[in-house]
Structure 1
């Protein structure tokens, strides 16, 4: 009896009909069952949730027929363990809660099984907490990296660098944001920038672009990587037009006077993950540099595109020649203004 009294397991004996024949005097059982309640008036339904009764009754019968031990794990509302003739709850457990148990069900004879269940709630809660923390960590990773790159980063330790033959890069800059920064508090500036760039993020996802980064008041994204697509230039063009519309809408709603300057270029890039701490997914190559020049040498409220991007868009969108401009490191380049697609 002293041995049983020290045990913190739930030990029960059931027959093949699920009627409890014995409640062992363990510490667990003593804390939960009323002494004046007839032991054989308990049934399996008192120890598992109602929707589990048939399943575990079948398990008991399988153990009896096979004479082999089996192990199950199950969740149960612990308040239902506190049944007695008075229906009174143990003062130490007045609030119903779900507990997890691991039970070994072993044959005791041809007609009886012994059910030894241990409370494993603490370990289950630790598992849940670990899964939730892992999910949070993975979500943070996905906020930094494209999903395919995040998966590769988890599976390999060497440098991730890929070449892409044909993508379209966009730079978008709030041209008068610097001036506004002298008129507003830092908190107001960050709130405005967050509102605008959050909408940019939404539009990037909507049009199938991959956001690369923000640089101060500039926004950089790309289409055509890491997942390849043939319509990368058209995706970026449609997003660019939506960006202009959104900034106009934002100004109308807030009384601000922002203007957006956008530059696009199409061509090959190298993309990869750099750094060990605070790493990020970035792009390199002449295509990126020229896209940045298209933005910086553009005009407020306009979308400037290179000849390479023009060739991808000319059958689907309306573009007007700007003429030649001198581009640092490239010499003179023919560029175009993206207007609207025909019919808009």
Structure 2
């Protein structure tokens, strides 16, 4: 595994438009860090500073394309399900990012040269990024249909993805044209982020600590011996895996510059969290089933997925929510992360809930 202190302006532009199309910003991400982690506002801002600088520059110099919501908006999921954190643009550009292409014209040429089976394969790989083995086996149209059926998407979202595939060339051109201006600005202004990349090649030549948590939370193997690691600035708190072809020989990791620093911050305990928020999290029937299982015994991600007949990706989303509100804790055993109920937090939550619902 080798790290390269080079950003991909195509990825940065996609992540920027994704933020804006979903009416969010780096400031909101900082607020989420402060709410969920033991950290001061000043510390959180320092961790996310490179992303704030680049976002501000793009805000001042970019006009959002009229098709931003369609191309860069979150792909809607069914009510109660967590976002897949992807968009149409991300689905269609996966191959270019995996090929480490940073020139938008070169990326467009590569994407337009793909056959339909290749396009299907790359869309499927992006949709199943948390489960590489599933992606590798689903290169056919029927395989894509099976993947779409297994994800918590709305019917409209499934049809939209199939429609985009049917009009693949048109959408590739539209996406690349929408990105071109932002990509050019990011390329032309390296002074905005170069300082943050100074030690990247040394500090991220080994990201096993990050990968270990990611793969165990999802219950799958995402590591690659010859993986290549690149930074992302706008996606400072994101970790994106662009898997290799079916033989798994090439994996590209785009690691947010703040991921490691954020991961080392202790999660706030439930006593410092909003009890109403914890109650909302438990209102999801699958999360309640997970808690019922974990109150009886510990389990790891893939084990929970098999017991509840959910995808590893869905389990990962649920575990993230339950851990953030303090109801679930984890520990390493061998090469796996095991989850168990935080008995003290569960007891306190029940006590507080009883107090809130008590009839006077």
Tell me the TM-score normalized by structure 2: 0.19
Give the structure with the higher percent helix.
2
Relative contact order: is structure 1 or structure 2 higher (C-alpha 8 Å, sep ≥ 6)?
Answer: 2
- Please say which structure displays the higher CA radius of gyration: 1
